[in-house]
Structure 1
Amino acid sequence: MNAPNAASPIPDSQFPTPSLTIYPAIDVRDGRVVRLKQGDYAQQTDYAPAPLQLAQRYAADGAHWLHLVDLDAARDGGYTLAPLLGGIAGSTALKVQTGGGIRSVDDVQCVLDAGAARVVVGSLAVREPETVAGWITRFGAQHITIALDTRLIEDQWRLPLHGWTDVSERTLDELALFYAQAGLAHLLCTDIGRDGMLAGPNTALYQHLCALLPGVAVQASGGIRDVADIVAARAVGCGGAILGKALLEGRFELKDALAC
């Protein structure tokens, strides 16, 4: 995990240590709650209940935040979950972090106007970092989450693109530091190899990122299987944990995750 030579981490003294926030996740495709294995649309598992009912269940269990992903938009563009956002806002007190297909400043504004508390920007954040960095300034750091999917390639954490078939020239460290220096407050990082695998989070990766980016709330995503994994993510400094497949399959209760 090599940090870039041209930039250095932001000093610890500038920022407080973030606390850990639990984000139960709902991935939506064709109006249904689904999970993909390692992001592969051909390896999809469907779950019940419907997205709104699941969000209401998570709210009743004590969640404050929800991580909502529009998988249709992630592939084809054009965010489609505004009506669902409205339903969640009208029936729960959940704050929603959501993304999928965010390609323009108008997309960000539309999703915020639809009721999102925070907009997740993924592939465009890798392809057009200068553009997306400007959104942090325009909308405020508390309204933008940068999502970087990463894979270890030849001892460096790289950023695959185009369905994970191409690779960005910038490494994870380089791009993460670029955004931190642009004012980033929230970074969601997924280890592709662990996504949907229930193999445990990559705590070494998150420990590295938390040390590299003091003051940025790093969200652990991919592999969390039990409460012990959440405790481990917090122990290495993560500011958030995304809970997906393990919750849907009943491997532990959301109440227990929140209590830890």
Structure 2
Amino acid sequence: MKPDIIPAIDLRAGRVVRLAQGDYARQTTYPDDPIALAASYAAAGARWLHVVDLDGAQAGGFANLPVIEALARAGLRLQAGGGVRGVADVHRLMDAGVERVVVGSVAIRDPERVAGWIDRHGAQRFTLALDTRWIDDRWTLPSAGWTRTESRTLDELAPWYAARGARHLLCTDIDRDGMLAGPNLALYRHLATIAPTLAVQASGGVRSVDDVRAAAEAGASGVILGRSLLEGRLNVAEALAA
């Protein structure tokens, strides 16, 4: 099965930006209008859009909610997050038109609560963002905009969520995020082994059609494309053709 090609738009103060390896001090700001950019992705054949509210991920709340609401009307199915702390935040995003709510920090810190949301609303309404960094021979799970490392590991939580009925997992190798160094194929093969029922979205480092194919062969059911699209190294039509 071909993977979903999912363009990504990261928002900070309403602007389209990218961070290098999750570092807020290493930001690149792009001139694109986020709504027009999303419309161009839809016109090229994309079905989904991944949106991160970086202000919310860092400080909580949804500083970019009006933009997210507008993006939900741009013709793409939206998965969005950044700043989800409680069930009220989940409802705010769903009410804004988000089809799959992305939960990151709270999914690491309070998995029982997130499992309850999945039970209540259905597994198709959530994407777990277990973004990871290899430290001391284990896949650690940074939170709070990748600024704090939690005690739980990827190998602990991915199978746990699979057993609780979760369906969608977005996993970024943080050290490759925004670096155009290629995806970490070993990571996605590892996830296919420890949590085979999860539909894994590969994120971080994808730069070419060959990378898209390789991620799919490693077990990814979706591929997130960020900087490679923004800088014209790859386009949606090429990725879909792959």
| TM-score bracket for this pair, using the shorter chain length | over 0.9
Which residue pairs with 1:28 in the alignment?
11
> Out of 53, 71, 76, which is 1:94 matched to?
76
Cα distance in 1 for residues equivalent to 2:72 and 2:99 = 10
Structural mapping, 1:34-113, within 5 Å: 34-90=17-73, 92-113=74-95
CA shift, 1:117, in A, is 0.7
Deviates more, 1:210-219 or 1:36-45: 210-219
Quote how far apart the aligned CAs of 1:164 are: 4.1
**Paired letter, 1:42:** A
Assess if the C-alpha contact under 8 Å between 2:39 and 2:75 holds in 1: no
Higher relative contact order (CA 8 A, sep 6+): 1
From the superposition, tell whether residues 236 and 54 of structure 1 become closer, same or farther in structure 2 (CA, over 3 Å): same
Give, in angstroms, the shift of residue 160 of structure 1.
2.2
Residue 214 of structure 1 corresponds to 196
The Cα shift of 1:154 comes to 2.1
Task: Tell me the matched-pair count.
Answer: 242
Deviation at 1:86, TM superposition (A): 3.2
What amino acid sits opposite 1:113 in the alignment?
A: D
Paired with 2:46 and 2:144, the residues of 1 have a C-alpha distance of 33
Counterpart for residue 137 of structure 2: 155
**Aligned position for 2:226:** 244
Gaps of 5+ in 1: 1-17
CA distance in 2, matches of 1:75, 1:249: 25
Which residue of the partner structure matches residue 176 of structure 1? Answer: 158
Distance 1:19 1:134, change over 3 A: farther
CA distance in structure 1 between the partners assigned to 2:57 and 2:143 by the alignment: 12
Give me the TM-score of the superposition, normalised by structure 2: 0.96
Residue number in structure 2 paired with 1:254: 236
Residue in 2 that maps onto 1:14: none
Structure 2 residue aligned with 1:125: 107
- Give the secondary structure class of the aligned counterpart of 2:178: coil
TM-superposed CA distance for 1:206, in Å, is 0.3
Task: Work out the CA distance in 1 between the residues paired with 2:54 and 2:177.
Answer: 15
Conserved? CA contact 2:132–2:171, under 8 Å:
yes
1:93-144 superposed Cα distances (whole Å, 9 cap, x missing partner)? 2100000100010110110111001000011111111111111111110000
Gaps (5+ residues) in structure 2? none
Structure 1 counterpart of 2:214, from 232, 242, 252: 232
Question: TM-score normalized by structure 1?
Answer: 0.89
Residue 205 of structure 2 is aligned to residue 223 of structure 1: yes
**C-alpha displacement at 1:211, in angstroms?**
2.0
Distance in 2 between residues matched to 1:187 and 1:123, nearest whole Å? 13
Residue 215 of structure 2 aligns to a residue whose secondary structure is helix
Helix, strand or coil at the partner of 2:131? strand
Return the match for 2:175 from 180, 193, 211. Answer: 193
SS of 2:130's partner is strand
State whether residues 8 and 224 of structure 2, in contact with CA within 8 Å, keep that contact through their aligned partners in structure 1: yes
